[in-house]
Amino acid sequence: MAILDSRRVSRAGRWVDVRHRRLGMWAYALNRITGIGLVVYLYLHLCILSLLTRGQSAWDSFVSLARSPFYLALDVILLAGILIHGLNGLRIALTGCGIGAGAQKAIFTMLMIVSAIALAVAALKIFHI
Amino acid sequence: MPKVPLQIFRYKAGEPSRYDTCTVDIPDSAHVIDAIDAAWAVHDPSLTFRRACHHSSCGSCAIRINGVEKLPCVTKLSDVWDGRTPLRLDPLRNFPVVSDLVVDISSFFQRMSAADMAITCEAEAFLPFTVDSFAVAALERKAVELPEDFSRFNRFEQCIECGICMSACPTMAADDRFLGPAGLAAIYQARHKTDDPKKVEHLLGLADGEHGVWRCHSAFECTEACPQAVDPAGKIMALRRELIARRFSKMWGK
């Protein structure tokens, strides 16, 4: 049973293997990785919000920590995840409705360029607030 | 004649898997299947692999060449070998390995059967009698009567049932029961060959199920890998469009 389970785990993990694969597979893996990242962030966010129950001083000390360059960099990573997941999701929704299925690679490339530009602008703003 | 290094996946039941390396002498213009043939003939006759037609018609030789699903019978060595690194040969993904490069693709045919697809090709009539009875009929100089709905029994589009789409699909790796690109493309094809409302409901019900079209995460690897331009991903998207349209129609009471 243990062998079977480990096989199932290694099989399920194959979706992250993008070696020798094409652009669609990168889009697939990116969407899953960012999706998992956003779920983890949601729980972290809720945990951090729970600091409010410990009073103003606990919250204020967290806010001063959140303004450090390390936390600002995490904000940029979070935004990258939101942009990639959201815009790639748009591609999936469009192709899933039968719109642009033949041009999915061009759509993905275009949306990722939009993501990169938006992220660069947002990163500049985040670090210059 | 170049010496081509091969790294071949080996597995026999009850033994751990490994990679064997060998070098074969074959011309640059040869196909990968020739390299496998040479490895079998010169180095190790216990090497198991499939091949039959040698011209991309039967799909039986499908394997992964340097990690990419291909038909070695039509893949030129010069297109996949860089002249230095050993050419890596692996069996297809997402199917149980029977021996070396041979996998059991019965799950592929189960999915085709679920979609009610007759596995016949345009040139080979699906007839209610055997090849032998055909031969006997020819000897007796009797006319062979074809079924009235003869034209119905065609293979779907250009699919050669190689299983490459199911090997390339990343969702197949995560869900054993996913109908997969071949099964869903077959459902699409079967659905477009019938106007029978009961059959349409059945086919769309299959596609709309837990392991149907919504399990596809739009990697489009199946369409990229398909050696016959069947475009399974396009068919999956077309099924989704029809299912969405039907849901909207139901919402508006049409």
Question: What's the pLDDT tens digit per position in A41-76?
Answer: 999 999 988 888 888 888 888 888 888 899 999 999
Instruction: Specify the pLDDT at position B114.
Output: 81
Same domain, B112 and B230: yes
Instruction: Specify the pLDDT at position B152.
Output: 44
Interface contacts (A, B; CB < 8 Å): 65
Same domain, B59 and B132: no
Same domain, B96 and B138: no
| Cα dihedral B81, B87, B89, B94 sign | negative
Chain B residues in contact with A98 (beta carbon < 8 A): 237-238, 240-241
Q: How many domains does chain B have?
A: 3
Is A93 a residue whose pLDDT tops 50?
Answer: yes
Same domain, B96 and B112: no
Same domain, B207 and B124: no
B226 touches chain A (CB under 8 A): no
The pTM of this model reads 0.80
Same domain, B87 and B138: no
| Cα dihedral B229, B233, B237, B243 sign | positive
Same domain, B127 and B175: no
DSSP A103: G
Distance from A115 to chain B by nearest Cα, in Å? 19
Chain A residues in contact with B237 (beta carbon < 8 A): 95-98, 101
Buried (b) or exposed (e) across A28-63, using 16+ Cβ within 10 A?
Answer: bbbbbebeebbeebeeeeeeeeeeeeeeeeeeeeee
Q: Do B170 and A95 touch (CB under 8 A)?
A: no
Q: What is the domain-level CATH number for residue B235?
A: 1.10.1060.10
Give the ipTM of the model, two decimals please.
Answer: 0.77
Q: Token digits for A52?
A: 């409010």
Q: Which of B97, B188, B213, B218 should we substitute to test contact with A (largest number of A Cβ atoms within 10 Å)?
A: B218
Q: Do A22 and B221 touch (CB under 8 A)?
A: yes
Query: Which CATH number is A22-127 given?
Result: 1.20.1300.10
Give, for all 254 residues of chain B, the pLDDT tens digit: 789 999 999 999 999 999 999 999 999 889 999 999 999 999 999 999 999 998 888 899 999 999 999 999 999 999 999 999 999 999 999 999 999 999 999 999 888 888 776 544 444 444 555 555 555 555 565 555 655 655 444 444 578 899 999 999 999 888 888 999 999 999 998 888 888 999 999 999 999 999 999 999 899 999 999 998 889 999 999 999 999 999 988 888 76
What range defines the domain where residue B130 resides?
A: 120-154
Is A20 a residue whose pLDDT tops 70?
Answer: yes
Closest in B67, B233, B241 to A97, CB measured: B241
* Nearest C-alpha in A relative to B170: A15
Instruction: Specify the pLDDT at position B155.
Output: 46
Same domain, B167 and B136: no
Q: Do B173 and A31 touch (CB under 8 A)?
A: no
Q: Do A101 and B219 touch (CB under 8 A)?
A: no
Same domain, B13 and B70: yes
Closest in A24, A29, A32 to B220, CB measured: A24
Same domain, B112 and B218: yes
Q: Do A22 and B238 touch (CB under 8 A)?
A: no
Chain B residues in contact with A14 (beta carbon < 8 A): 93, 170, 173-174
Q: Do A97 and B238 touch (CB under 8 A)?
A: no
Same domain, B113 and B208: yes
Distance from A74 to chain B by nearest Cα, in Å? 27
* Nearest C-alpha in B relative to A90: B218
Q: Do B173 and A14 touch (CB under 8 A)?
A: yes
Q: What is the domain-level CATH number for residue B50?
A: 3.10.20.30
B177 touches chain A (CB under 8 A): no
Closest-CA residue to B94 (of B247, B222, B214): B222
Cα–Cα distance for residue pair B205/B188, rounded to 1 Å: 12
Same domain, B160 and B237: yes
Closest-CA residue to A104 (of B222, B94, B64, B164): B222
Q: Do B174 and A12 touch (CB under 8 A)?
A: yes
Distance from A87 to chain B by nearest Cα, in Å? 14
Closest-CA residue to B228 (of B170, B167, B161): B161
